[in-house]
Structure 1
Amino acid sequence: MQTSSTRSGYDIDDWDAEDVEAWNDGGSKIARRNLIWSIFAEHVGFSVWSIWSVMVLFMPQNVYHIDAAGKFFLVAVPTLVGAVLRIPYTFATAHFGGRNWTLFSALALLLPTALTLYFMAHPGTSYTTFLIVAGFAGLGGGNFASSMTNINAFYPQRYKGWALGLNAGGGNIGVAVIQLVGLLVIATVGNGSPHLVCATYLVLIALAAVGASMFMNNLTNQRSDARSLIDVLAHRDSWLISLLYIGTFGSFIGFGFAFGQVLQINFLAGLAHGGPVTPAMTAQASLHAAQIAFIGPVLGSLSRPLGGWLSDRFGGGKVTLYTFYAMIAAAGCLVAAGEIDDATPGPATGATMGAFIAGFIALFILSGMGNGSVYKMIPSIFEAKSRGMNQLSAPERSAWSLRMSGALIGIAGAIGGLGGVGVNIALRASYLSPAKSATMAFWVFLGFYVLCAAITWVAYVRRPKTAGVLGTETPAVSSAAAVA
């Protein structure tokens, strides 16, 4: 590993994370430094991506004239834009350099944050304009793909699960932190000062850009191109992993965007008792929702590195399978609470509300673990596949594995993000149903988790008689590579 003098002092040539001697002789410190600032920049990106999940708590219907269904669609728009942007962002670090792209993508977040600050101060703005402004927040969603692809190149196979889990978890927790900022604002000055949330993030964006500029590096030998996107789609595992990531990350980001609003709806129903809704009730419901909404994303973010670490030790397939089993149970808890609540006239009881909150918190924790375990499977799968490519030299096999892994990280991240759109659309449709509750959406989530568990068992845990043993260092994918 050496620093190039031909481009800039931040460029590194001939980076080989699998070179143990070079890794121990300073490589690990370089990787760690890039990981720290990658986490911070991605963290801010996630916060901006989810800023509208907080803004809707500052938008009483009598002032902004947007109902609950309209708000669910409003928070779905940045989810959709962010998911789509993950595809081009995947290749950006290889083309422009990890440091350069992190700096640019951080500065780009100034646009949606400034727009949100301005238009939230003008409640008479049209709904269409709010949708467009929310769409710009999707820029923060693309940061995940470029950050994960970059860190994947910095770390050796033996540490990828932990490093990718830590990078993603630190980014994911941005969903919770911006909700904490929103809670602080609502608790201190009420639900009429959303500009304070935006102003806070203008400062954090600037700090992320400065940190990336001063402390990150570009890997000049990092390669990824549009062809790898096409090549990786030829593998069955790419589609299966993407589907599983809908179940894990789609759940996390979808619930992260929607949980506060769902809580607000339930608290407001309890305060109103079927009568007219007053501004004081709306403010109180917003505060109650903000006091709880951040807990799920915090725990889900913290559990993501745990999922990666467990996968390093026991295999991504097994950890993912047991995670989906537990998610089925948690979704069943939500369904049961919803059915009881729908059958009981009036607002939710304390017991059903408690079960409702507990079920959501459990899904946050489990989806976070699943995020880590599914992403650990990606480099493991292609590392295992590369061993059968005897026509390639060891460095060529390593480069192929890294290129395919980087491409799939972007694809799975994009498709998983679309799952977050699905969560919000399902909740919107459920609240528009005659029951006017989320129970129908809970049934949809339960059914999808059953499907994901079945796929994980068949493709990555069950060992067919014809499967060969590919090595103990990738236990989760030994059968996957054999049957792909």
Structure 2
Amino acid sequence: MPAPVASLRSALKRDHKITDWDPEDREAWDGGNAAVAKRNLVWSVICEHVGFSIWSLFSVMALFMGPEYGISLDQKFVIAATATFVGSCLRIPYTQATARFGGRNWAIFSAIVLLIPTGLTMMLMMNPGEFGFGWFLAVAALTGFGGGNFASSMTNINAFYPQRLKGWALGLNAGGGNIGVPVVQLIGLLVIWLASDQPEIVCAVYLVALAVAGVGAAIYMDNLDHQTSSARAMLDCLRHRDTWLICFLYIGTFGSFIGFGFAFSQVLNISFTSAGAAKPALAAAQIAWIGPLLGSLSRPYGGKLADRVGGGKVTMYSFIAMTFSAAILVVAGSIADANGKVIGGGVLAAFIVGFILLFLISGIANGSVYKIIPTIWEHKSQNITGLNANGRAKWSRSMSGALIGIAGAAGGLGGVGINLVLRASYKSNQSATVAFWIFMVFYVVAGIITWWFYARRPIITGATTDLQVADPTSASIQPTTDPGSTDKAMA
């Protein structure tokens, strides 16, 4: 029997359930656990990557949807917002799925189920004019299942890695998933270039990719017996001030990434049309992928930088930089508005630079914000009375997984907001300048919040901000909140 076939058969037959996993055990980690975690991380990234591509599929399809489809510009923004909204909401139940069904089992399901919206999208695109706006909304909603993959994947990988490596591991997992956005746009560009009237080719590519991801997850991934995400943990999580702060910050970071990921190609298409480009859709497709790619690649390094200097500082400086990037869009938009809404070459270049900077910096901030999450609960767990070290570790993992799902959902809803704000701005003013102003003000507020709570001093006092929190197994256990207690800062 050939060696690759024997290896594959062995992988299929092995027990995929791991018991007594302790990533903080240095000896076990160096003795083989690191390789196990890496294998699961690789296939988690692949499944999440393809999921992100399907989630953002209509950002590419919009470039193919000419007048023959009967879908207006206004409706295209609504389609994008629908996909973003559903994907964001699904992150809550997807967070619970790894604990209930197992990380490997859910990765298989989450990849295979996406064959449905991908096939339906192929049907819509192959029959222009035969299906109305309602059909596109319904199928866009189904592509939202790809957005839910992020929460289950991140919760799963959070349980595999030790505290000292979480920033890098979570950043790599999320960044590898995020890169699905530019990849589907690059595939779309290739199809527009080679066969502009055949968008079904993009769908066909992803039908194959989904099958590969599902089979790979079945062969190489594992289920951990100590996955502890629960609905109770999510409710407990909401009682902490930090949960709401992290959600607000993640709206500004991931919300920017995914919102602009859906909208950037449409904004470019509008801008190139105004600038008089002969083939505005092709011109937009040639550039639209660059921003999401840079944002995806920068995310792991945001997590790694946060591992070294602290998530609070990295996040604060990121919001400062995003404010200046948004200011570029505001100035360029104002110039175009004063010129009768006509977008010249200089304004178009400023739009491209401003958006690409926002993608790049939001990617860094995505990684740094997610580094804050496990650190918050790791420190809080040390102040819980009535639990041994193992109980504290389980509580910390449970709360981290819960907040990963909650923050992921909130961030995705930020992407919905971006699409709706851009839609309203174009509809009322025939330009995006008002939307750019709103984005810039939000980044200023987010930067101030980050500085005040996570970056201005090495420790922050949590004495009066947290309500009673129940232990996952006992309702009588809560963090100590006397005036002398402190939370470890992400500075």
TM-score by length of 2: 0.90
Q: CA deviation at 1:462?
A: 2.0
Q: CA deviation at 1:8?
A: 7.0
When residues 466 and 412 of structure 1 are mapped into structure 2, their CA distance, relative to the original with a 3 A threshold, is closer
Residues 1:211 and 2:220 are matched in the alignment: no
CA distance, structure 2, for counterparts of residue 185 and residue 369 of structure 1: 30
CA distance, structure 2, for counterparts of residue 465 and residue 30 of structure 1: 35
Residues 167 and 306 of structure 2 are in contact (CA less than 8 Å); yes or no, is this contact kept in structure 1? yes
CA distance, structure 1, for counterparts of residue 72 and residue 48 of structure 2: 31
* Amino acid aligned to 2:317: Y
Residues 462 and 479 of structure 1 are in contact (CA less than 8 Å); yes or no, is this contact kept in structure 2? no
CA distance, structure 2, for counterparts of residue 464 and residue 214 of structure 1: 45
**Which of 19, 22, 42 is the matching residue for 1:36?**
42
Residues 1:368 and 2:358 are matched in the alignment: no
1:267-305 CA-to-partner distances (Å, cap 9, x unmatched) read 112227xxxxxxxx5xx1110000000000000000000
The CA RMSD over aligned residues, in Å, is 1.7
Q: CA deviation at 1:481?
A: 5.0
Residues 1:285 and 2:280 are matched in the alignment: yes
Equivalent residue, structure 2, for 1:195: 200
SS at match of 2:18: strand
1:374-425 CA-to-partner distances (Å, cap 9, x unmatched) read 0000000110111112432111111110000000000000010000000000
- Which 4+ runs in 1 deviate beyond 4 A? 464-468, 478-483
**Which of 373, 394, 398 is the matching residue for 2:393?**
398
Alignment of structure 1 residues 260-279 onto 2, 5 Å: 260-271=265-276
1:84-114 CA-to-partner distances (Å, cap 9, x unmatched) read 0000000101110000000011000101100
CA distance, structure 2, for counterparts of residue 149 and residue 402 of structure 1: 9
1:212-231 CA-to-partner distances (Å, cap 9, x unmatched) read 00000000122221101101
Residues 460 and 480 of structure 1 are in contact (CA less than 8 Å); yes or no, is this contact kept in structure 2? no
When residues 346 and 236 of structure 1 are mapped into structure 2, their CA distance, relative to the original with a 3 A threshold, is closer
**Which of 378, 384, 390 is the matching residue for 1:389?**
384
**Which of 58, 63, 79 is the matching residue for 2:84?**
79
Q: CA deviation at 1:465?
A: 8.9
CA distance, structure 2, for counterparts of residue 265 and residue 349 of structure 1: 12
Residues 88 and 413 of structure 2 are in contact (CA less than 8 Å); yes or no, is this contact kept in structure 1? yes
When residues 224 and 8 of structure 1 are mapped into structure 2, their CA distance, relative to the original with a 3 A threshold, is farther
Equivalent residue, structure 2, for 1:248: 253
When residues 465 and 208 of structure 1 are mapped into structure 2, their CA distance, relative to the original with a 3 A threshold, is closer
When residues 130 and 12 of structure 1 are mapped into structure 2, their CA distance, relative to the original with a 3 A threshold, is same
SS at match of 1:32: helix
Alignment of structure 1 residues 12-91 onto 2, 5 Å: 12-60=18-66, 62-91=67-96
Residues 1:305 and 2:300 are matched in the alignment: yes
Paired residues in the alignment total: 455
Residues 1:439 and 2:433 are matched in the alignment: yes
Equivalent residue, structure 2, for 1:4: none
* Amino acid aligned to 1:105: S
CA distance, structure 2, for counterparts of residue 179 and residue 166 of structure 1: 20
CA distance, structure 2, for counterparts of residue 482 and residue 270 of structure 1: 48
Equivalent residue, structure 2, for 1:134: 140
Paired-residue identity, %: 60
Equivalent residue, structure 2, for 1:231: 236
CA distance, structure 2, for counterparts of residue 30 and residue 482 of structure 1: 31
Q: CA deviation at 1:199?
A: 0.2
CA distance, structure 2, for counterparts of residue 93 and residue 442 of structure 1: 38
Residues 270 and 347 of structure 1 are in contact (CA less than 8 Å); yes or no, is this contact kept in structure 2? yes
Residues 1:462 and 2:456 are matched in the alignment: yes
TM-score by length of 1: 0.92
* Amino acid aligned to 2:457: R
CA distance, structure 1, for counterparts of residue 74 and residue 293 of structure 2: 26
Equivalent residue, structure 2, for 1:278: none
Alignment of structure 1 residues 294-373 onto 2, 5 Å: 294-345=289-340, 347-373=342-368
SS at match of 1:271: coil
Equivalent residue, structure 1, for 2:481: none
When residues 464 and 295 of structure 1 are mapped into structure 2, their CA distance, relative to the original with a 3 A threshold, is closer
Equivalent residue, structure 1, for 2:465: none
CA distance, structure 2, for counterparts of residue 99 and residue 430 of structure 1: 43
Equivalent residue, structure 2, for 1:148: 154
CA distance, structure 1, for counterparts of residue 287 and residue 486 of structure 2: 42
CA distance, structure 1, for counterparts of residue 224 and residue 132 of structure 2: 45
When residues 130 and 466 of structure 1 are mapped into structure 2, their CA distance, relative to the original with a 3 A threshold, is closer
CA distance, structure 2, for counterparts of residue 130 and residue 347 of structure 1: 31
CA distance, structure 2, for counterparts of residue 432 and residue 174 of structure 1: 30
1:339-390 CA-to-partner distances (Å, cap 9, x unmatched) read 0111013631211111110000000001100100000000001101111124
Q: Higher mean Cα deviation, 125-134 or 339-348?
A: 339-348
* Amino acid aligned to 1:121: M
Equivalent residue, structure 2, for 1:94: 99
CA distance, structure 2, for counterparts of residue 479 and residue 13 of structure 1: 34
Q: Higher mean Cα deviation, 338-347 or 413-422?
A: 338-347
Residues 1:421 and 2:416 are matched in the alignment: yes
Q: CA deviation at 1:120?
A: 1.2
CA distance, structure 2, for counterparts of residue 91 and residue 466 of structure 1: 30
Q: CA deviation at 1:189?
A: 1.3
Residues 459 and 489 of structure 2 are in contact (CA less than 8 Å); yes or no, is this contact kept in structure 1? no
When residues 406 and 113 of structure 1 are mapped into structure 2, their CA distance, relative to the original with a 3 A threshold, is same
Equivalent residue, structure 1, for 2:407: 412
When residues 396 and 183 of structure 1 are mapped into structure 2, their CA distance, relative to the original with a 3 A threshold, is same
**Which of 425, 431, 450 is the matching residue for 1:430?**
425
Residues 161 and 372 of structure 1 are in contact (CA less than 8 Å); yes or no, is this contact kept in structure 2? yes
CA distance, structure 2, for counterparts of residue 263 and residue 174 of structure 1: 20
1:12-71 CA-to-partner distances (Å, cap 9, x unmatched) read 0000111111111100000000000000000000000000000000001x2112221111
Residues 464 and 479 of structure 1 are in contact (CA less than 8 Å); yes or no, is this contact kept in structure 2? no
CA distance, structure 1, for counterparts of residue 276 and residue 456 of structure 2: 50
Equivalent residue, structure 2, for 1:275: none
CA distance, structure 2, for counterparts of residue 260 and residue 466 of structure 1: 41
Residues 325 and 453 of structure 1 are in contact (CA less than 8 Å); yes or no, is this contact kept in structure 2? yes
Residue segments in structure 2 that go unaligned for 5+ positions in a row: 1-12, 463-484
CA distance, structure 1, for counterparts of residue 296 and residue 96 of structure 2: 25
CA distance, structure 2, for counterparts of residue 218 and residue 8 of structure 1: 12
When residues 356 and 126 of structure 1 are mapped into structure 2, their CA distance, relative to the original with a 3 A threshold, is same
